[in-house]
Amino acid sequence: MSKPHLDAHQRKAQRREAVMRVAVPAVIILAILVGWEMMVRVNEIPHYIIPAPSLIWRTLLDNWATLWPALWFTVKLTLLALLAAVVGGVLLAIAFALFRWVEIGFFPIAVVLQVTPIIAIAPLILIYVSNTTAALLLCAWIVAFFPILSNTVIGLKSADSNLRDLFQLYKATPWQRFRHLLVPSALPYFMAGLKIAGGLALIGAVVAEFTAGTAGRETGLASRILESSFRTEIPMMFAALFLVSALGVVIFLVFAVLSKMVLGHWHESEMRREQ
């Protein structure tokens, strides 16, 4: 009862399913890369129009010394913004969930921040905040914090009403109710918000840096893309773009794994259906 009993046949089918899940997308990506390479070589397309994947890869390795610090700067910016978004989003969500008037009062402001495109606010922020890094951080934070805020607010309010009654019946203190009922109920919603916010923090960091241009002492991947576009170094643009995408994928995977670790044993969203 506690563990589904699988016979050898089912186990084999499951293993094959697991392998295919990785193999099928890998084959498709490989096919696209090979097709791209072939297209460029056969048609002799010049590298300043579309570089071949092999050239992009070589450019990446050759320029690693300049790309690596840029990547590291973007990683730092993204993670710091995300951290600030988690802290700010969660604290604000708790205030919203506990005090109705705080929510009624501040929610419109949160919405205004969310619906105004970051690219439109970024120039103003860059004017008002003299430290470029701090300005970039602020931009990325504005983009990333809303999904965490709204998801956590919904999560904190989503606790089962019978369980709420049960906590009332057993005279739980407000802290006990918060710690043992509201927080676990909100956790799946928070994790979903975190997954979205991770991607958005990266977008915010890149967009803000584009707006800021190549100013500032330290610069990130967006500056590399801008610079190479000024110099029409298309392979370098692709190489930096590849790093931005790869960073996004890594952030996505990290939070997917984290979500699975935190929720996998009980929440529907992270459970495989047993058939």
Minimal CA–CA distance to 242: which of 76, 81, 59, 78?
59
Query: 61: buried, middle or exposed (CB in 10 Å: 19+, 13-18, 0-12)?
Result: exposed
The size of the interface with other proteins (CB under 8 A), counted in residues, is 22
Q: Does residue 167 belong to the site contacting other proteins (CB under 8 A)?
A: yes
Q: Between 80 and 183, whose beta carbon lies closer to other proteins? A: 183
Residue 200: how many other CB atoms lie within 10 Å? 23
Q: Which stretch binds other proteins (CB under 8 A): 78-86, 190-198, 201-209, 261-269?
A: 261-269
Q: What is the CA radius of gyration of the chain?
A: 24
Q: Which stretch binds other proteins (CB under 8 A): 146-154, 156-164, 211-219, 225-233?
A: 156-164
Q: Does residue 187 belong to the site contacting other proteins (CB under 8 A)?
A: yes
Q: Which stretch binds other proteins (CB under 8 A): 141-149, 150-158, 226-234, 264-272?
A: 264-272
Residue from 5, 9, 100, 171 in contact with other proteins (CB under 8 A): 171
Q: Between 167 and 238, whose beta carbon lies closer to other proteins? A: 167
Please state the three-class secondary structure of 34-87 as a single string.
HHHHHHHHHCCCCCCCCCCHHHHHHHHHHCHHHHHHHHHHHHHHHHHHHHHHHH
Residue from 43, 130, 162, 232 in contact with other proteins (CB under 8 A): 162
Residue 30: how many other CB atoms lie within 10 Å? 10
Q: Does residue 217 belong to the site contacting other proteins (CB under 8 A)?
A: no
With a CB cutoff of 8 Å and minimum separation 6, the contacts of 270 are 259, 260, 263, 264
Minimum distance from CB of 24 to other proteins (Å)? Answer: 30
Q: Does residue 14 belong to the site contacting other proteins (CB under 8 A)?
A: no
- Binding residues (CB under 8 A) for other proteins: these are 1-2, 160, 162-163, 165-172, 176, 180-181, 184, 187, 265-267, 271
